[in-house]
Each structure stands twice: as C-alpha cells, then as structure tokens.
Amino acid sequence: MTAPSTGGKPAFKKIDIYNHVLPPKYFELVKAHSKDAGIVKRMASLRLLWDLEARAQMLAEKFPDVVQVLTLSQPAPEMLGGPDQSPEFARVANDGMAEICARYPDQFPVFVAALPMNNVPAALKEMDRAINELGARGVQVVTNVNGRPLDNPEFFPIFEAMANRHRLPVWMHPFRPGTVSDYKDEERSKYEIWQVLGWPFETSVAMSRMVFSGMLEKLPDLRVITHHCGGMLPYFAGRAESLWAQLGSRSADGSEADVLKRLSKPPIDYFKMFYGDTVLGGSSSALRCGLEFFGVDHVVFASDCPFDPEGGPMFIREGIRSIENQGLSDEDCEKLYLGNALKLMRLARIGKQ
C-alpha cells in the first residue's frame, strides 16, 4: 500500500476522506433555492468546488498520491426545500457525485451520499439507492436538521440503518447560520464567528446529544466521522470528563443525574467512539491534541478542500505537513493516510495502489 520514497521514508497513498464538491446541476439548485446570498457568493468564488475537471488536474499535478472521497458541500438538500422537494435535490446531488467519480476514477474513486433529512422515509430510500446502486460508501448528515437535534427519535432509523444494515460510516458536518446571533440584542453573528467558532461548537453539541441520549449505547457499531477532529472535545477533554461525571448536580431537580445511570460506561468513553478528521487548518499542535484524545486508530486524513485561501491545494499540503510533524511511526502514518479510511468504508483498496 505504499509507494517508493526518495528520502528513505515511504510515500503513502493518501485518502482525503472529507472534502467538498457541488456537482453542476446541484449548484444550479443552490443558486435557485438558497436563501443565503452570502453562501452562494462564497460557492461561486471557489472554482475547484464545481469545476471538477480543474480539480482533478490539480490533484494529478500536485498531489498524485492523494485520492478524494467526495462529500457534498453545504447547503444540504433539506436546507433548500421542504420534504416534498428535498428528496429530488438529494437525488440530483448523488447522481452528480456518482458521475464525477465515473469520469475521474483516479482522483475521485468514491463518494458519500447526501440525504433529504427532513423526509426520513425518503432519506432511507435514497440511502439504499446511493449505496446499493451508485456505490456510495457512507452518508453525510448535518449536525442539526434545520435546527432539530440529531438525537430526535425521528432520525434514529437513519443511524440504525447505517450501523446495522449497511455497516458504513456517517460523515457529520457542522452548520450554524450567520442569522444565529452571538448576543440576544443583535440580529446576526458578526465577524463570521458563526462559522469559525460556531461550527466546532455545533459538532461538539451534536456529539454530546448522541452520547447522553444513549444513541451510541443502542448502536455500538455506529461509526461517525466528525469534521475538524471532534470540534471542541479533544481540547476540553479534561473539563468534559470531570464536569460530566457530576451531571445533574447543577440542575434544580437533579433529574439529569439519572442519565449517567442509563449509560454502561463513563461519558468520555463514548466520545472516543467517534472518529476525527485532520481538518484543523494545518495546525500540528491541534492535531496532536486530537490524536491523543481519539487515538491513532480513530483519526483519518482529510483536507476540507477547496475551502482554503488558495482555493484548493493549501489545506491538502498543510494537512499532510501537520501529520508529518507528529513524528509518528510508518505504521501509524499509514493508518492516518490510508488504513483507517479503508476499514471504515470496508474497502480492500481504493484508486491506484
């Protein structure tokens, strides 16, 4: 699984497991139905988000050892329309990603399915179609469904199907709109705080709801890949472990203390069941924290391409650099770059190896 190296260290094949695309037909739906002009403006400015020929060429020229598992960029289908429209939007997205994979198999060998999360019966059908007919190797969900938590019982069948029937991972992407203000007397969040700090917070909240609702207790085989290496959890692990051990001590009636009695192990152990990706802006110290929290077997290489100041290559390059700075063994590097992702997607190989 490794290629020859000119510097004594093997050049590992790398699976970029979390990056984003907008298939052209889906991008047209975004432009027609999105109510967020800022998001549309941002997407239009990123050529490698929707010009996949240019992106495939960039990868071939600059990163020949990298293949990308495609995931749909925000906005998700349920953000563009109601439950009567979102199933068709998801179908367009998934058909588009499957077409990209068929056209550029050396750079984009597989994709992750988008789901219409505001229509659970349709989401289950689209999940089956995308995985069984199109070859998707997992599904993507947003940390909330138009403001509703993922641990709402309505959404449980989706996670149950992924854990027990398809046995493939769930990619969880954060979202918090700019219309959610940071202070009560303001109409909007300022300085893009809603994204830079708000999205890791949203990831951490969604993980917490999954843990304390008992979702991971009920679905021990569920595999969830968290964007930005678990949000806040690795950095605040000590605080989370010590304070949640006292859950219920701050509530007026103390009723939340019963939550701990329903869990068969300490809360922090459930948080370590998640997987974290390496999308940390190239920060070696942040990645070191994530590796210490999740362990090398639960971290996967990812770039967030093309959402970087260079519009594509920077996060790939800096993400690789952050891994190389860890001083890991060849065995652990191969896990981060290749092995962990193959196991999650239940693939023996991917692309040219």
Angle at 292 between CA 287 and CA 225, to 5 degrees: 65
Angle at 162 between CA 158 and CA 56, to 5 degrees: 105
Closest CA to 162 of 344, 353, 33, 336: 344
pLDDT digits (tens, 9 = 90+) for 186-196: 999 999 999 99
pLDDT digits (tens, 9 = 90+) for 287-329: 999 999 999 999 999 999 999 999 999 999 999 999 999 999 9
The per-residue pLDDT for 350 is 86
The per-residue pLDDT for 252 is 79
- Per-residue pLDDT band at 10 (split at 50, 70, 90): low
pLDDT at 1 over 50: no
Spell out the domain ranges in the chain. 13-345
85 versus 4: the higher-pLDDT residue is: 85
The pTM assigned to this predicted structure is 0.94
The per-residue pLDDT for 121 is 98
179 close to 207: Cβ distance less than 8 angstroms: no
- Which overall architecture, per CATH, does domain 13-345 show? Alpha-Beta Barrel (3.20)
267 close to 327: Cβ distance less than 8 angstroms: no
pLDDT digits (tens, 9 = 90+) for 143-170: 999 999 999 999 999 999 999 999 999 9
CA dihedral sign, ordered 138, 143, 148, 151: positive
Task: Please name the residue ranges forming H helices in the chain.
Answer: 24-33, 37-44, 47-50, 52-62, 77-80, 86-103, 120-132, 156-160, 193-196, 198-212, 215-218, 237-244, 257-262, 267-271, 284-294, 313-324, 330-334, 340-345
Angle at 167 between CA 164 and CA 172, to 5 degrees: 105
Other beta carbons within 10 angstroms of residue 229's beta carbon come to 28
- Quick one: what percent of the chain has pLDDT higher than 90? 88
Whole-Å CA distances, 18 to 246, 333, 337: 35, 17, 12
